[in-house]
C-alpha cells in the first residue's frame, strides 16, 4: 500500500496533457518491440503514447483493420462510436473517424460532441439491430450495426484504449480481436500511417456518411424499461452520483431530471489529469470505483465529521467509461463488489423481475465470490460460471438464457423488465441505480441485505494479489494444467476440483482454479499488463485465506520457475 493511498493527488502526480497528446502524434511505434505492438486484452488495446504503445499509427491501423474485418463479416450498417474523458480519447476518436470516413463507413457520432459511456454505445447498437422488437437482436444479415468505444476504462490518465463491439453489442471475442490485432500489426509493418487512407477531420465530420446520434436521450429515455424508477422517485431515495470525472457526467444529471429523482451529481468536474482524485493503493491515479483508496473522497462525504446523518441514502461511483460501479452506503461505506453482486442477484431473482424467463441462469466469472454460488443454489437457479471477460455473457444475455452477468471487478448487466436484452456490455450506471431501487422497494440498503446473506451462508474473506510477470512467464501460467497441482489438499482441506476450463461453457480460463468445500484460488495472467493475478477466497477465516494464498503462490512459483 502506497503511503499516500487515499489522499488527494499532488501536482507531481499529474500528467502533462500536452506532452501525452503530443507523444500520440510525434512517436512512431517500433512494431518489432512486443510492448509497442497492437495487443487486444479482455477489453481492447490499451497503452500510453509516452511508451509508444498508443499512438496515431496504432489507431489508424486498428481502425483500418476493423473496416476490413466488418466488411469480411458482411457488417454494412452504421458504426456507433463513443469516447471517454481520457486525454488520448479525443485524438484517437478523431483518427478513427478520419479512417472510417475515407472508407465510406456510415458512422454515428455523439450529437452533443461529448462523451459517451460504454453501455450507451452497446445499447444503441442493440436497438438498431432489433433489441426492442419481438423478433429480438439480429446478428447476421444486411444493415447490422457495430461500434467502437475509445477508452482505457479505469486506467491512469496517461493511458488510451480502443475497443471494438460487433453487432451483438458486447466486447469482441478473441477470434475477432485476434484477427484485428494481427491485421493492424501487419499494416504497421507495411508502412504504418502512410499505408492507411484517410481524409481530414473537417472532411470526415462533413461527410455524408457521418451522422449525429443522440446517445444520451436514447439511453436515458429507455432506462424505465429496465429499472423501477417510479419506485425510486416515490420513495424519495437520496442519491449521490460521482462520475469520477468520466463519461457519465452529463448522463446522471439527465437521469435525475428526466425521472424527477432526488439525485445530486457529487462532482461534475472533467479534468484529463484527474487532479481531484485520491490516489489508488499503489500511488497511481486510477478511476477504479471498486477501490477504497480511489473512492476515499466519496466515502468520506458519506461519513460527516462530527457525526450526523449521511447526505445521501446511497452514493455511487463510475469509472471513466461508466462500465463499472461502486456502491457506498451510510452503514457500511464502500461495498465489496462481490458482496453487491450477490445482493443484486438475490434481489432480481428473488421476485423483483417476475417477467424474466423462468430458466434464466445467473452468470458469474470464475474469480467471483462463491457466495454467488450459494445464493444461486438457494434460488434454485442454474449458475453459469465463465472465464474472466464480459464477452462470455453476451450470448446468454442476447437470448435471455442468462438474466444477469457479473464480474468481480464491479462490472455487470442484466435484462430488461420484460426479459429482453438491455446491454451486452457492462453497465455501471444501471447497477448503480439498482442500488436505489433496492432501497426504494425493500426499505433497506444493499449492505444490510449483504449482512442477511452472511447470516444465512456464512462470512467469506476474499482478496486478489498482483505480481510482476514477463510475457514468457504469463504464457507458462496460461498453460498450467491440473496435473501440475500434485497436492490433494489446499490449506488443510480436500481439493474438490482443479479447473483449466470454465464449468459454464468449457472455455479455457487461461490459468488454473483449485477449489475445496470452503475455499478456492485462481491464478491467471493479466490480459493488459505484465502481471499475474491470484484470486482467493475462504469461508473459514482471514488466517485461512492467507494460508490459501500462500499455497497458491507456491503453485504459481513452481510454474514460473
Per the CB < 8 A criterion, the answer to whether 245 and 287 are in contact is yes
198-207, 335-344, 440-449, 468-477, range with the lowest pLDDT: 468-477
CATH of 12-218, one of 3.40.120.10, 3.20.20.70, 2.40.50.140, 3.10.20.30: 3.40.120.10
Comparing C-alpha atoms, which of 484, 492, 467 is closest to residue 553?
Answer: 467
- Compute the half-sphere exposure of residue 24: CA atoms within 13 Å on the CB side of its CA: 26
Give me Rg for the CA atoms of the chain: 23
3-state secondary structure 93-118: HHHHHHHHHHCCCCEEEECCCCCCCH
Tell me the pLDDT band of 467, cut-offs 50, 70 and 90. confident
Domain ranges of the chain: 12-218, 461-560
Report how far residue 464's alpha carbon sits from residue 442's, in angstroms, rounded to the nearest whole number.
Answer: 32
Comparing C-alpha atoms, which of 180, 165, 176, 23 is closest to residue 80?
Answer: 165
Comparing C-alpha atoms, which of 162, 204, 206 is closest to residue 184?
Answer: 162
Per the CB < 8 A criterion, the answer to whether 315 and 425 are in contact is no
Report how far residue 535's alpha carbon sits from residue 166's, in angstroms, rounded to the nearest whole number.
Answer: 30
pLDDT, averaged across the chain: 95
Show the DSSP H helices in 27-145 as ranges.
56-72, 89-102, 118-128
Q: Read off φ and ψ for residue 362, nearest 5 degrees.
A: -100, 125
Residues ≥6 apart with Cβ < 8 Å to 12: none
Per the CB < 8 A criterion, the answer to whether 140 and 148 are in contact is no
Tell me the pLDDT band of 528, cut-offs 50, 70 and 90. low
Looking only at the bridges linking them, the beta strands covering 262-265 and 159-165 are unpaired
In angstroms, the first-to-last Cα distance of the chain is 27
Tell me the pLDDT band of 559, cut-offs 50, 70 and 90. confident
Comparing C-alpha atoms, which of 508, 504, 507 is closest to residue 478?
Answer: 508
Beta bridge pairs of residue 60: none
Which residue of the set 49, 52, 124, 153 is catalytic?
A: 153
Show the DSSP H helices in 393-445 as ranges.
394-399, 428-442
Residues of the chain with pLDDT > 70: what percent?
99
Show the cell assigned to 502. 470454465
Any idea which architecture 461-560 has in CATH?
2-Layer Sandwich (3.30)
Query: Does residue 333 sit in helix, strand or coil?
Result: strand
Report how far residue 388's alpha carbon sits from residue 407's, in angstroms, rounded to the nearest whole number.
Answer: 8
pLDDT at 157 over 70: yes
Q: Taking residues 432-455, report their average pLDDT.
A: 98
Residues ≥6 apart with Cβ < 8 Å to 175: none
Higher pLDDT, 184 or 525: 184
Show the cell assigned to 296. 476515499
Mind listing the pLDDT tens digit for each residue in 45-65? 999 999 999 999 999 999 999
Let me know if 153 is a catalytic residue.
yes
Amino acid at each position: 500500500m502506497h503511503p499516500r493511498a487515499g489522499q488527494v493527488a499532488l501536482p507531481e502526480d499529474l500528467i502533462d496533457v500536452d506532452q501525452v497528446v503530443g507523444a500520440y502524434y510525434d512517436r512512431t511505434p517500433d512494431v518489432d518491440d512486443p510492448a509497442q505492438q497492437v495487443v487486444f486484452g479482455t477489453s481492447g488495446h490499451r497503452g500510453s503514447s509516452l511508451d509508444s504503445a498508443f499512438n496515431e499509427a496504432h489507431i489508424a491501423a486498428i481502425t483500418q483493420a476493423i473496416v476490413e474485418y466488418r466488411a469480411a463479416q458482411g457488417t454494412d450498417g452504421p458504426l456507433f462510436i463513443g469516447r471517454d474523458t481520457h486525454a488520448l480519447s479525443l485524438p484517437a476518436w478523431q483518427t478513427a473517424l478520419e479512417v472510417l470516413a475515407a472508407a465510406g463507413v456510415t458512422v454515428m457520432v455523439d450529437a452533443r460532441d461529448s462523451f459517451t459511456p460504454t453501455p450507451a454505445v452497446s445499447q444503441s447498437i442493440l436497438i438498431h439491430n432489433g433489441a426492442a422488437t419481438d423478433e429480438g437482436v439480429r446478428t447476421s444479415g444486411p444493415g447490422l450495426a457495430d461500434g467502437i468505444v475509445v477508452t482505457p476504462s479505469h486506467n491512469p490518465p496517461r493511458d488510451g484504449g480502443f475497443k471494438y463491439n460487433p453487432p451483438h453489442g458486447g466486447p469482441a471475442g478473441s477470434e475477432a480481436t485476434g484477427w484485428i490485432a494481427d491485421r493492424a500489426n501487419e499494416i504497421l509493418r507495411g508502412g504504418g500511417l502512410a499505408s492507411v487512407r484517410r481524409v481530414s477531420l473537417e472532411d470526415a465530420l462533413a461527410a455524408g456518411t457521418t451522422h449525429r446520434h443522440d446517445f444520451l436521450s436514447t439511453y436515458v429515455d429507455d432506462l424505465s424499461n429496465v429499472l423501477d424508477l417510479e419506485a425510486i422517485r416515490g420513495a424519495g431515495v437520496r442519491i449521490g452520483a460521482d462520475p469520477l470525472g468520466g463519461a457519465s457526467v452529463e448522463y446522471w444529471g439527465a437521469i435525475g431530471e428526466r425521472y424527477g429523482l432526488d439525485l445530486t451529481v457529487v462532482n461534475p468536474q472533467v479534468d484529463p489529469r484527474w487532479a481531484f482524485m485520491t490516489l489508488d493503493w499503489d500511488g497511481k491515479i486510477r478511476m477504479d470505483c471498486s477501490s477504497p483508496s480511489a473512492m476515499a473522497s466519496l466515502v468520506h462525504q458519506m461519513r460527516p465529521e462530527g457525526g450526523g446523518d449521511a447526505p445521501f441514502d446511497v452514493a455511487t461511483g463510475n469509472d471513466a467509461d461508466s462500465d463499472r460501479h461502486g456502491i457506498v452506503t451510510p452503514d457500511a461505506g464502500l461495498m465489496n463488489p462481490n458482496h453487491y453482486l450477490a445482493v443484486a442477484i438475490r434481489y432480481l431473482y428473488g421476485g423483483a423481475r417476475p417477467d424474466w424467463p423462468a430458466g434464466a441462469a445467473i452468470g458469474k466469472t470464475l474469480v467471483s465470490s462463491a457466495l454467488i454460488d450459494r445464493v444461486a443454489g438457494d434460488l434454485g437457479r442454474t449458475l453459469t460460471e465463465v472465464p474472466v471477460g464480459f464477452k462470455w455473457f453476451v450470448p446468454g444475455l442476447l437470448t435471455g438464457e442468462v438474466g444477469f452477468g457479473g464480474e468481480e471487478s464491479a462490472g455487470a448487466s442484466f435484462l430488461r423488465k420484460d426479459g429482453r436484452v438491455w446491454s451486452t456490455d457492462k453497465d455501471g450506471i444501471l447497477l448503480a441505480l439498482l442500488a436505489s431501487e433496492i432501497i426504494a422497494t425493500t426499505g433497506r440498503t444493499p449492505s444490510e441485505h449483504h449482512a442477511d446473506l452472511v447470516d444465512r451462508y456464512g462470512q467469506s474473506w476474499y482478496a486478489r494479489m498482483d505480481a510482476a510477470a514477463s510475457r514468457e512467464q504469463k504464457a507458462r501460467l496460461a498453460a498450467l494444467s491440473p496435473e501440475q497441482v500434485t497436492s490433494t489438499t489446499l490449506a488443510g482441506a480436500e481439493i474438490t476440483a482443479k479447473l483449466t476450463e470454465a464449468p459454464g461453457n468449457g472455455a479455457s480460463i487461461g490459468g488454473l482454479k483449485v477449489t475445496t468445500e470452503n475455499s478456492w484460488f485462481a491464478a491467471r495472467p493479466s490480459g493488459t499488463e505484465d502481471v499475474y493475478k491470484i484470486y482467493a477466497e475462504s469461508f473459514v477465516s482471514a488466517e485461512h485465506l492467507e494460508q490459501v494464498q500462500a499455497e497458491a503462490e507456491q503453485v504459481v512459483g513452481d510454474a514460473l520457475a
